[in-house]
Structure formats: C-alpha cells, structure tokens
C-alpha cells in the first residue's frame, strides 16, 4: 500500500480553545472531508476516522488496518439530530437509552438509511452508531462533517490503542493524521447494543453494562458468544469472530482460588523459562510480589475494575515489545466493566483457560 507522511498533533483536551488545538482540529476536518484518514482519541480507545458517507474513504480504513471487508464500521456522531439521518427506525427504547447514556461508551445498531453506503456497513442493512463523550472526538466529528466511521485505530488483530504511541506503532505512514490527546479514560471498546432485536441484545460488553441498560428499558439480552468459552458459538457482531485483541505471545488465563493460581503460574513460568522462553505474567498489586520469575506486570488493584480496564491493552502491547513468548494472566472480577475486561482477555487468549 501507498506510504504517506503522517501528521501528528498533540492536543490538551482541557484546552480545546487554544490556537494550536483549533488549527489541529481544522486540519483534521479538512482531511476527513477530502476522504482521508485521521486517528483521534475517544473515551474508550483511539479511533481511525473517515467520512462514513463516502464509500471510498471508508474503504481506505480497511486497507490501512488490514481489516476484513465484511467487518462493519461504527458511525460516530456529535449530536442526537444526526441519528435520524443514518437510522431508518429509532425505537422508543433507543431514545431513552440515548438520553441516559449518550454521549458515552455505547454503540447502538439500527436499520440503516439509504445515505449510509454498504462500504461502511460491510454490506449489512443495519448500521452501528455511537456518540462519544471525549471532547476531542466530538470536535473532530463536527469538523469532519458529522458522520465519522471509526474502528479502533490498531492494525487488525492487535490490541486496541489506548494512547497515541500505540496508534503510531501500528499505523504511521499508512494514515494522514494522528491527533494525540493523551491516554484514554476507559481503555476497552464501547458496549454494542442491537436495537433491531426484541429484546435488544448486547453483542459486545463494555462500560455500559446489562444492568445499567435494564434500569432504563427493562429486559436486555446478551449474545451468548460474549460470555461462553465455547468458540463454536458464532458471534452476531461480525468483528467479534476474528482473533481480536491478540498479543503476539501465547496467552493463557489462569482461573481459580488465588493461592492455587499463583502457585500454578509460578510453576508454568519456571517451566517455560527453563525451556529458554521469555515469559510475562499479568498480576495485580496484591499478588505481584508473589511471583518468582519472568517479567511481572501489575494491572492494578484487584478491586479496581476501572484501573484494570485502562491498563489491559497497554500491558499486552508492552509484552509484545519486550518479546514475550508466553504470557500467564490471573483472572479478574467480572463486576461492572470487569465483564468487558474478561471478555477481551479471554478472546485475546483464544479462550485458553487453565482451571486450578
Ligand atoms: O469504543 C468503540 O466502539 C471504538 C471507538 C473508536 O469508538 N470503536 C470500535 O470499532 O471498537 P471496531 O470497528 O473496532 O469495532 C466495531 C464492532 C465490530 O465488532 C463490528 O463487527 C461491530 O462493531 N459492528 C459494527 N456494525 C455492526 C452491525 N451493523 N451489526 C453488528 N455488529 C456491528
Ligand atoms: Mg477493533
């Protein structure tokens, strides 16, 4: 593919009125309107933006990421009025959910209107829409014309980027611009809720949980493949079927009582190291001191699901950079956003779980 110069601009999300910030957003808007690609921060992960209503622009996203073309993109909007332009039917429940959780880490799926090209939806009659809360994201969407298709800004198959350096590592010289807004807030991708089904169904867990959605609209279903370790279950979000979020190393997740898990990880790590391999261990603040060999990284305090979510992808990338051959991870709480963390961790491990 064609190599290009990638413009990189740093923006302080608390100082969007600065001249430099205004200029950077304007530049990004111009590139997007001309059919180019701009990576930008959202509250979940960095997105790789293109004009969602321009089929050629959307196609460039697939090329830059190496993404299979049947994997549909999410259209990002900056205000609720924009939803009518891309969604043919907006159920009452969707209005209630939007009122409560937009802007925020939630994507909803609707029947698409005619202006949405099949190049954006991967050939589907439905369209995924999200209004992010990150102020930089909102400015970029507005500047780019209001409808920005944005998958996570990683090479297909790698962990999603939670800072601009991750985007640079994957996409430098393949895209027109990167807006560096620092570290993202949440660290795992948005919840995806399919509003074309009754009851609505969660296709991908995220920071907005089933309980939070049920508080607003009553019953919400969950796609079994997001919780089941049985990889034969075929996911309804096309992107969830690919080996996603994956580090280069062979990752195993160890489940069971803490003491037994630590003992098992110590034993397996020592075994692999004796064979000459480089081993990484994903521990927590409480347990990190208990490991005897390997590269040990704490993902955060066990009770802090938010911290764990925000560190997950960065740690997987660090182990890649350090050349780990095997990674052994503890398993974590599934409370709140913990459900999304374990969904991504188990997918990254291709459901390679060791029960102790
Ligand atoms: O948090 C996020 O959602 C991030 C940020 C950048 O906004 N974006 C993101 O996009 O995670 P991506 O492309 O990496 O994941 C989109 C997921 C894929 O699994 C895709 O298959 C699913 O959404 N999806 C998109 N449109 C769909 C549709 N019409 N029906 C079912 N699944 C859909
Ligand atoms: Mg992705």
Question: What's the mean per-residue pLDDT of the chain?
Answer: 95
Question: Does the pLDDT value for residue 2 go beyond 80?
Answer: no
Please work out whether the CB of residue 192 comes within 6 Å of at least one atom of ligand 1.
yes
Alpha helices in 198-302 (DSSP H): 210-217, 258-274
Angle between helices 92-101 and 210-217 (to 10 degrees): 120
pLDDT at 241: 66
If you ran DSSP here, which 8-state letter would residue 289 be given? G
If you ran DSSP here, which 8-state letter would residue 330 be given? E
By alpha-carbon position, which residue is closest to atom 19 of ligand 1? 239
Q: Is 232 exposed, middle or buried (0-12, 13-18, 19+ CB in 10 A)?
A: exposed
Please work out whether the CB of residue 151 comes within 6 Å of at least one atom of ligand 1.
yes
pLDDT average, residue stretch 236-250: 76
Q: Pick from 74, 101, 128, 111: which is nearest to 214 by CA?
A: 101
pTM over 0.75: yes
Please name the residues in contact with 62: beta carbons below 8 A apart, sequence gap of 6 or more. 68, 69
Question: Does the pLDDT value for residue 201 go beyond 90?
Answer: yes
Quick: pLDDT tens for 95-145: 999 999 999 999 999 999 999 999 999 999 999 999 999 999 999 999 999
* Cα→Cα distances 328→91, 116, 141, 264, 331, Å: 44, 43, 39, 10, 10
Residues that place a CB less than 5 A from ion ligand 2: 152
pLDDT at 242: 60
By alpha-carbon position, which residue is closest to atom 21 of ligand 1? 239
* Phi, psi at 253, each rounded to 5°: -110, 130
In whole angstroms, what is the distance from residue 348 CA to residue 356 CA?
20
Pairing of strands 7-10, 177-180: parallel
Position in ligand 1 atom list of the atom nearest CA 112: 29
Quick: pLDDT tens for 42-89: 999 999 999 999 999 999 999 999 998 889 999 999 999 999 999 999
Question: Does the pLDDT value for residue 243 go beyond 80?
Answer: no
pLDDT at 232: 55
* Cα→Cα distances 111→56, 128, 156, Å: 22, 9, 26
pLDDT at 54: 98
CB 354 within 8 A of CB 252: yes
Q: Please give the structure tokens belonging to residue 348.
A: 């990254």
pLDDT at 131: 98
Alpha-carbon dihedral sign for residues 159, 164, 168, 171: positive
pLDDT at 233: 62
- Indicate the range of 155-169, 233-247, 317-331 predicted with least confidence: 233-247
Confidence of residue 321 (pLDDT cuts 50, 70, 90): very high
Please work out whether the CB of residue 235 comes within 6 Å of at least one atom of ligand 1.
no
By alpha-carbon position, which residue is closest to atom 25 of ligand 1? 72
Please name the residues in contact with 227: beta carbons below 8 A apart, sequence gap of 6 or more. 343
ω into 103 cis (within 30 of 0)? yes
108 C-alpha to ligand 1 centroid (Å) = 10
* E-strand stretches of the chain: 7-10, 38-40, 47-51, 74-76, 106-111, 126-130, 148-149, 177-180, 191-194, 201-204, 221-222, 250-255, 279-283, 295-298, 326-330, 353-355
Q: Please give the structure tokens belonging to residue 247.
A: 């580090």
Can you say how many angstroms the Cα of residue 233 is from the centroid of all Cα atoms in its chain?
21
Q: Please give the structure tokens belonging to residue 297.
A: 């990284």
Please work out whether the CB of residue 107 comes within 6 Å of at least one atom of ligand 1.
yes
């Amino acid at each position: 593919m064609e190599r290009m110069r990638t413009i990189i601009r740093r923006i302080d999300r608390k100082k969007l009125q600065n001249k430099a910030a205004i200029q950077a957003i304007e530049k990004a808007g111009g590139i997007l309107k001309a059919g180019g690609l701009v990576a930008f921060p959202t509250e979940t992960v960095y997105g790789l933006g293109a004009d969602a209503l321009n089929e050629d622009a959307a196609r460039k996203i697939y090329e830059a990421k190496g993404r299979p073309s049947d994997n549909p993109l999410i259209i990002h909007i900056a205000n609720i009025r924009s939803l009518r332009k891309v969604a043919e039917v907006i159920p009452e429940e969707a209005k209630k959910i939007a009122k409560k959780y937009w802007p925020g880490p939630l994507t909803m799926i609707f029947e698409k209107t005619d202006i949405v090209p099949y190049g954006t939806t991967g050939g589907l009659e439905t369209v995924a829409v999200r209004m992010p809360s990150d102020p930089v994201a909102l400015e970029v969407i507005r500047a780019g014309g209001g409808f920005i298709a944005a998958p996570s800004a990683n090479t297909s198959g790698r962990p999603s980027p939670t800072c601009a350096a991750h985007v640079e590592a994957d996409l430098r010289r393949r895209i027109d611009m990167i807006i560096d807004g620092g570290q993202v807030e949440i660290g795992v991708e948005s919840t995806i809720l399919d509003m074309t089904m009754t009851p609505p169904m969660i296709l991908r867990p995220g920071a907005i949980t089933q309980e939070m959605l049920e508080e607003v609209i009553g019953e919400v279903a969950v796609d079994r493949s997001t919780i089941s370790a049985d990889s034969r279950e075929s996911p309804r979000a096309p992107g969830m079927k690919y080996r996603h979020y994956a580090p280069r190393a062979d990752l195993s997740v160890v489940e069971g009582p803490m003491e037994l898990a630590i003992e098992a990880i110590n034993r397996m790590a020592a075994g692999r190291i004796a064979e000459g391999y480089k081993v990484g261990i994903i521990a927590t603040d409480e347990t990190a001191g208990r490991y005897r060999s390997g590269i040990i990284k704490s993902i955060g305090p066990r009770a802090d699901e938010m911290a764990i979510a925000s560190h997950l992808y960065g740690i997987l990338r660090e182990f890649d950079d350090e050349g780990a051959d095997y990674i052994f991870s503890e398993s974590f709480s599934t409370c709140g956003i913990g459900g999304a963390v374990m969904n991504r961790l188990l997918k990254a491990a291709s459901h390679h779980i060791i029960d102790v």
